[in-house]
Amino acid sequence: MGKPGFSPRGGGGGGFGGRGGGRGGGGRGGFGGGRGGGGGRGGGGRGGGGGDRGRGGGGRGFGGRGGGRGGRGGGGGGGRGGGFKGGKTVIIEPHRYEGVFIARGKEDALVTRNFVPGSEVYGEKRISVETNGEKIEYRVWNPFRSKLAAAILGGVDKIHMGPGCKILYLGAASGTTVSHVSDIVGPEGLVYAVEFSHRSGRDLINVAKKRTNIIPIIEDARHPHKYRMLVGMVDTIFADVAQPDQGRIVALNAQHFLKNGGHFVISIKASCIDSTAQPEAVFAAEVKKMQADKLKPQEQITLEPYERDHAVVVGIYRPPPKNIGS
């Protein structure tokens, strides 16, 4: 298994004195190394609930440290929290968008209030906070898995979503971000989630079974007339379709379903539209196309450091005419 002081995969220096060595290096492979002898993959330090206690294969959560599963803290979130470390006291603060919150603990995280307490959608961490004797559950929103969360953390001015809003979501995929939008709009709101892929659509339908405010539509967003009988007028269109003609797709859906003075939020992936051009040039060309379709962009931000060569454009559809006299 290699020299005593060396371990081929991970492992804190072969679990001191070569007992761990091999693949596990601490963690499971021979427990060596006191606390935190490597814990499986990427362990070291305190990952995986500390070498000789708990088996928690180091950083699988997106925070790099807390163990994969089990370990010290047990439960799905992994050793001590896959990514978000709450510590003992977590304080929930409202974000400037209604329906979005910030959980402040040892680390801060973006969260939404869980519309279906007790259930998770994609293995995200849940936080319960007791206020005035009532327990409220929040779900951590990972910006690396959601363009909308990345835009919020990137400082976008308005997302045009809030309690009671009706949203048309194009490119819903498996329902990761859709579930958080469902949290934001709450029981009075609605999310029409359009997804073309049947495989992702299956997951989306499973999410919608628990969340009564999601209406899943397994249909091509290029043909809005096919689902016109399912969708009413909406306040906001969110689009994450990653297609070369996505500007046209959004414009078509806006003509069918978006009220005048309604808003749109579009995630643009530069390489999907033209992989040979500079991302900045692609974004500028897309914005020009939108203006021709009565979609008036109001702001644009890039999604670094969460996504490469992505931008989110937010704007208004057919803005009401400004009264010159008043």
CA distances from 155 to 138, 165, 206, 302, 310 (A): 21, 21, 32, 10, 15
Model confidence over 11-51: pLDDT tens digits?
444 334 334 344 433 334 344 334 443 434 444 444 334 33
In this predicted structure, what is the pLDDT of residue 52?
41
Least confident span in 46-60, 165-179, 294-308? 46-60
In terms of DSSP bridges, do strands 214-218 and 190-195 run parallel, antiparallel, or are they unpaired? Answer: parallel
What is the average pLDDT across 160-185?
98
Longest alpha-carbon distance in the chain: 85
Of 57, 104, 59, 50, the C-alpha closest to 82 is 59
Number of residues that this document lists for the chain: 326
Question: Helix (H, G, I), strand (E, B), or coil: what is residue 92?
Answer: strand
pLDDT top residue among 321 and 128: 128
- Residue whose token pair is 């929290």: 81
Model confidence over 191-243: pLDDT tens digits?
999 999 999 999 999 999 999 999 999 999 999 999 999 999 999 999 999 99
Confidence band of 284 (pLDDT split at 50, 70, 90): very high
Model confidence over 62-86: pLDDT tens digits?
444 443 343 333 333 333 334 566 6
Instruction: Give the domains, in start order, of the chain with CATH numbers.
Output: 1-65 (no CATH), 147-317 (3.40.50.150)
Model confidence over 238-252: pLDDT tens digits?
999 999 999 999 999
* Res. 111: pLDDT tops 50: yes
Confidence band of 131 (pLDDT split at 50, 70, 90): confident
In this predicted structure, what is the pLDDT of residue 88?
66
In this predicted structure, what is the pLDDT of residue 89?
82
How is 285-317 classified by DSSP, letter by letter? HHHHHHHHTTEEEEEEEE-TTTSSSEEEEEEEE
pLDDT top residue among 128 and 70: 128
In this predicted structure, what is the pLDDT of residue 85?
63
Confidence band of 258 (pLDDT split at 50, 70, 90): very high
Using N-to-C axis directions, what is the helix angle for 246-257 and 279-292, rounded to 10°?
Answer: 30
